[in-house]
Amino acid sequence: MKIFSGGEGVFTLFDPKKQRLPIKIWLKSVEEIETDCLNQALNLSNLPFAFQHIALMPDTHVGYGMPIGGVLATTDVIIPNAVGVDIGCGMSFVATDVEYKVLETTTRNGLTLKEHLVNKLLEKIPTGFSHRKKDVPSSLIDDFKTQAAKDKALVPNLVKELDAAYKQLGTLGGGNHFIEIQRDEENKLCLMVHSGSRNIGYKIAETFNNIAKANYSKWAHPDFNTSSNLWYLPIDSKEGETYLRWLNFALSFARDNRALMQKIVLSKLEETLKLAGINSFSITMSANAHHNYAALEKHFGQDVWVHRKGAIRANKGEYGIVPGAMGRPSYIVSGLANSDAFNSAPHGAGRVLSRKAARRTFDAKELATELDKRGVLLGVSRVKNVIDEHFRAYKPIDEVMENAKDLVEPIKKVEAIAVIKGD
């Protein structure tokens, strides 16, 4: 394999005998990449409709079909597995003008206000596999159901699934999703939510990947590797047009899901602060960013479909969010519009251990002790249920940020004081 330096913190892999396109990687060496992740990137580089090059972010690791932290531009096709199963998964963030210490120094009924707030949020926001017991009013779902009626012949299961989506709004989910109460470098209170499109997004991804696979013979490309699990849909096909419509719905759903949770968090924060005699506060900054999606963008003079799977868009001056692992620092960033990265940036710390390996390696008591030492309250029913999210299962976030220095500029660093996880 031929390796070409692209400057500090980035290099290019390109062997014309094995690759159709180069792979640009924002790491210091190829040794930092898992073999399976690299093989997935090679599959991407040989897609007949891939454009210009493949980009791998500093948090890249193996995914399903396509690496997490991968950016793929295509011409005329869209690939469900290059978007991922949690369509629209992303982050929202707000900073306030409240001193965070008030949550730790004020007590009511034997609890700090921080503990009080976490308990209230666990009561109001379903986590893990839990959904709401009652439908949440949603004009988004109402309107889309009317549009989706014409898709009943192609995706009857999804049309039916829309009825269940009302109960999925304002729910956190599990895995790496979280709600964090944070402090910034000025000791002001901040809030962050990480979630996506829940089960409806998963069903959309699964359904259209199956459709792409089942209908492959209709548009089979002779140079497509069928073992790559990157089944595709031509944009101008009925199937492709339908997927785009459902994809965009899932992106809006994910944003609404985060917005509702953020509204609940702010409401419960307001109630909690009143216990300390603080009757009002202001939001001084906000940000929101998807990191699993595809969009039509112009790059290198051509309109292409940019798939970001575990990567955020980083146009010039655009706010983004790069969270660390559980209980570790996170960063609010400003995009630098790096064209070689298709104006993209990392979405987080990136795993170094699989969930199974993390469960074998780490101890729940040790994790609880470590978080307690750092002053981080963990809102979860059982610590052992989130041991696969141990911060040591992820790359150090400052290492990721160092490798991303020509992709984004950090503008705010925040530290967790409480983390709510779905188990």
**137 CB-near residues (< 8 Å, 6+ apart):** 166
Characterize the bridge pairing of strands 54-61 and 23-25: parallel
Q: Which residues of 48-87 are buried (b: 16+ CB within 10 A; e: fewer)?
A: ebbbbbbbbbbbbbbbebbbbbbbbbbeebbbbbbbbbbb
E strand segments, 26-121: 54-61, 68-74, 77-78, 90-99, 107-108, 111-112
Write the CA distances from 331 to 120, 289, 390, integer angstroms: 26, 13, 19
Catalytic residue among 116, 291, 307, 347: 347
Q: Could you write out the DSSP letters of every residue in 120-140?
A: HHHHHS--TT---SSPPP-HH
Residue 347 a catalytic site member: yes
Residues 46, 363: Cα–Cα separation, whole Å: 41
Separation of alpha carbons 259 and 347, rounded Å: 19
CB atoms within 10 A of CB 415: 20
Q: Could you give the residue numbers annotated as active site?
A: 347
